[in-house]
Amino acid sequence: MNDTERPVRIFFVRHGETDWNKELKYQGSTDIALNENGRSQARKVGLRLSRVIPSKVFSSPLLRAYGTAEAIMEANAGGAPVEVMDDLREISFGKWESLTYAEIMERHASDYKTWLENPFSSSPTGGESFESLRTRSARAAEAVKSAAAPGAAILVAAHGVVLRTLLSSLMDARDPRLMWRIRFDNCSISALDLWGGRPSLVFLNDTHHLRMDDDKIGMLSFPK
C-alpha cells in the first residue's frame, strides 16, 4: 500500500485535569492551567503517542489544552510544532464559569433548565450559542482536513465540548444530538481515519495509559 492509498489519521486528545475539573466547576473559555495530576496525565499521554509522528499539531489557545499538546510533543522526537487554532477554544459558558452545578442551579436555574432541555436553541447565561460553536467547529474541521496528506497523522488537543462538535462535523453527523453521546475524559485519546475524505471512527476515549506505570506505556499499541 502506498501513501496515496493510506488514510489520514486524526488523533484527538482532551486536555489534562485542572483544579476546576477536580472541583466539578464549569470552565468553558476561562483560562485554567493544568494541575499536578493534569501535568502527570499529559506526560503519560505524551509517552503513549511518542511513536506517532504527526505532520501537524493543532491546539486550543487555552493553557490546559496547549500545555497538554506541548507535553505530548516533548515526548515526540521529530514531530511538528504546536499550532494554535482559536476555533478549538472551548465553548463559553458565560456566567456559569467558575460555578458548580449546585451554584448554577441557585443563581441561574431557569436558564440552565432551558439549556438542558434544548441546548441547540438556547445559550448559557451570557455565553456562546451552540450555533456559534458548530460554525467554528466546522471551520476547524475543514482546516484539519485541508492540512492532511494521505498517510499522515494529525494531532488535535482541545476540550470536551468542542471535541464533540468537531468529531461530529468530521463524521458528517446530521443529528446534532449525537455530540452528547460522545465522551472525552481528561487526556483520553480518540482517532478518526479519513479515506479520501470519507470518515471512519477507529477508537474513542482510550485512557489505558493513565492507569499504567510510565515505563510500561510504550508497550501499548493502536489499531492499524
Whole-angstrom Cα distance, residue 191 to residue 127? 30
Q: Which of 17, 23, 36, 90 is catalytic?
A: 90
CA-wise closest residue to 48 among 158, 212, 163, 161:
212
Task: Determine whether 15 is an active site residue.
Answer: yes
Q: What are phi and psi of 52, to 5 degrees?
A: -90, 125
Q: Under a CB-based contact definition with an 8 Å cutoff, are residues 13 and 48 in contact? A: no
Secondary structure string (H, E, C) spanning the chain: CCHHHCCEEEEEEECCCCHHHHCCECCCCCCCCCCHHHHHHHHHHHHHCCCCCCCEEEECCCHHHHHHHHHHHHCCCCCCCEEECHHHCCCCCHHHCCCEHHHHHHHHHHHHHHHHHCCCCCCCCCCCCHHHHHHHHHHHHHHHHHHCCCCCEEEEEECHHHHHHHHHHHCCCCCHHHHHHCCCCCCCEEEEEEECCEEEEEEEEECHHHHCCHHHHCCCCCCC
Task: Determine whether 108 is an active site residue.
Answer: no
C-alpha cell at 211: 492507569
Catalytic residues: 15, 90
